[in-house]
């Protein structure tokens, strides 16, 4: 069947949602309104700035409604006035049942994992932290659970052993945009099938706390490497040295096991190695507190005495 144009309301906040919004805005479908969070203080200056989705919507000339609480009555009044066929959600907030009941067809969500694995706010971080070799995107119908709805479409993507969260994030934001359009097209033509997620294989990917980015060297070297790259570029892996925070930006798994005590850093064969338990990890780039980014060898060579991270 030939798809017919749908009236859409798009909901999202971060840059991950921008390609999806742009793709839908350039499609046969009509984005009647973009719902995003209110302007927030961002960066060191403390000035308020719009979400990346709001900035994109303004560039596209789309109406914007700012809302931090999807249960507010004004939002629901707006949606009932628009009478959308479909709500499209990408990295926004959980929607209450009162909102989910408004669109004619339903509400779809783009999630950066192969559901039911990594349900939650930080799926890419947790997948890399756990050493996954594959992830992807899922488009599913929203229900009242946390990423539990019926699946419309999926697309898988390999994770390289040196890739960071930033690398995968930027790839999946474009993969997801195309997958989302395919799913909307299928909904518009009625040529879709739904798949239950089931309960097997589900894992959680909760929002990260600052302490979650701290690197402990009392675990094996591969796990430490995965943790460091999972925190790049945000929130940023860190450890302590002489009561100062050291950002660990890039690392590599050590091919040869070095006999270094956990947390002890030393230049060996021209490489900045740090002992783990067992094994070790090569530190490629660091940023000491109050200083510029530098390579790991320069940092260790520039320290007086033994380097021990904690």
Q: Are residues 33 and 182 in the same domain?
A: yes
Q: Are residues 13 and 68 in the same domain?
A: yes
Chain centre distance of CA 53: 15
What is the reported pLDDT for 38? Answer: 97
Q: Please check whether residue 129 is in contact with residue 226, taking contact to mean a CB–CB distance below 8 angstroms.
A: yes
Q: Are residues 111 and 219 in the same domain?
A: no
Q: Are residues 133 and 237 in the same domain?
A: no
Q: Which of 126, 160, 189 is the last residue in one of the domains?
A: 189
Q: Are residues 60 and 89 in the same domain?
A: yes
Question: What percent of the chain has a predicted confidence (pLDDT) above 90?
Answer: 92
With bands split at pLDDT 50, 70 and 90, how would you rate the model's confidence at 257? low
What is the reported pLDDT for 305? Answer: 84
User: Quick one: which of 14, 24, 109, 16 has its CA closest to 62?
Assistant: 24
Q: For residue 196, what are the CA distances in angstroms to 115, 118, 141, 155, 227?
A: 10, 16, 10, 16, 32
Q: Please check whether residue 77 is in contact with residue 71, taking contact to mean a CB–CB distance below 8 angstroms.
A: no
**d(C-alpha 17, C-alpha 51), whole Å:** 10
Identify the domain containing residue 66 by its residue range. 7-189
Q: H or E stretch including 153? A: strand 151-158
How many domains does the structure of the chain reveal? 2
What is the reported pLDDT for 2? Answer: 75
Q: For residue 174, what are the CA distances in angstroms to 26, 56, 206, 216, 270?
A: 14, 15, 23, 33, 38
pLDDT 10s digits, 24-77: 999 999 999 999 999 998 776 778 999 999 999 999 999 999 999 999 999 999
**CATH number where 238 lies:** 3.10.25.10
Task: Extract the tokens encoding 183.
Answer: 């799913």
Average pLDDT over residues 200-220: 93
Task: Extract the tokens encoding 249.
Answer: 């930006």
Mean confidence (pLDDT) of the chain: 95
What is the reported pLDDT for 191? Answer: 93
Average pLDDT over residues 197-216: 91
Average pLDDT over residues 165-174: 98
Q: Which of 189, 223, 251 is the last residue in one of the domains?
A: 189
Look at residue 199 and tell me if it is in a domain. Answer: no
**CATH number where 30 lies:** 3.40.50.170
**d(C-alpha 282, C-alpha 267), whole Å:** 9
Q: Residue for token digits 């690197």?
A: 215
Q: Please check whether residue 1 is in contact with residue 190, taking contact to mean a CB–CB distance below 8 angstroms.
A: yes
What is the reported pLDDT for 46? Answer: 75
Q: Are residues 15 and 151 in the same domain?
A: yes
What is the reported pLDDT for 126? Answer: 98
Look at residue 205 and tell me if it is in a domain. Answer: no
The pairing of strands 280-288 and 271-275 is: antiparallel
What is the reported pLDDT for 3? Answer: 81
What is the reported pLDDT for 84? Answer: 98
Q: Are residues 169 and 221 in the same domain?
A: no
Least confident of 72-81, 136-145, 198-207, 208-217: 198-207
pLDDT at 255 over 80: no
Look at residue 2 and tell me if it is in a domain. Answer: no
pLDDT 10s digits, 279-304: 999 999 999 999 999 999 999 999 98
Q: Which of 156, 189, 222 is the last residue in one of the domains?
A: 189
What is the reported pLDDT for 123? Answer: 98
């Amino acid at each position: 069947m030939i798809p017919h144009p749908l009236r859409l309301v798009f909901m999202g906040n971060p840059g991950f949602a921008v390609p999806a919004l742009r793709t839908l805005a350039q499609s046969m479908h009509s984005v009647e309104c973009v719902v995003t969070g209110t302007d927030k203080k961002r960066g060191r200056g403390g000035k308020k700035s719009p979400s990346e989705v709001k900035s994109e919507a303004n560039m596209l000339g789309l109406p914007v409604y700012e809302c931090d609480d999807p249960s507010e009555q004004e939002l629901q009044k707006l949606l009932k006035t628009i009478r959308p066929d479909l709500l499209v959600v990408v990295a926004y907030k959980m929607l209450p049942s009162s909102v989910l009941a408004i669109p004619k067809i339903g509400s779809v969500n783009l999630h950066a994992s192969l559901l039911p694995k990594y349900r939650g706010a930080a799926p890419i971080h947790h997948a890399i932290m756990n050493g996954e070799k594959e992830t992807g995107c899922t488009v599913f119908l929203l229900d009242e659970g946390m990423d539990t709805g019926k699946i419309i479409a999926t697309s898988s993507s390999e994770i390289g052993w040196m890739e960071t969260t930033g690398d995968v994030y930027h790839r999946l934001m474009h993969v997801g945009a195309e997958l989302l359009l395919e799913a909307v097209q299928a909904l518009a033509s009625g040529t879709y099938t739904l798949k239950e997620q089931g309960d097997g294989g589900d894992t959680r990917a909760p929002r990260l706390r600052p302490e979650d980015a701290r690197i402990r060297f009392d675990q094996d070297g591969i796990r430490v490497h995965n943790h460091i790259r999972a925190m790049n570029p945000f929130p940023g892996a860190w450890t302590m040295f002489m009561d100062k925070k050291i950002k660990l930006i890039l690392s590599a798994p050590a091919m040869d096991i070095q006999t270094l005590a956990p947390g002890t850093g030393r230049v060996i064969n021209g490489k900045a190695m740090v002992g783990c338990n067992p094994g070790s990890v090569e530190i490629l780039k660091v940023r000491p507190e109050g200083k510029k980014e530098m390579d790991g060898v320069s940092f260790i060579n520039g320290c007086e005495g033994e380097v021990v991270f904690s």
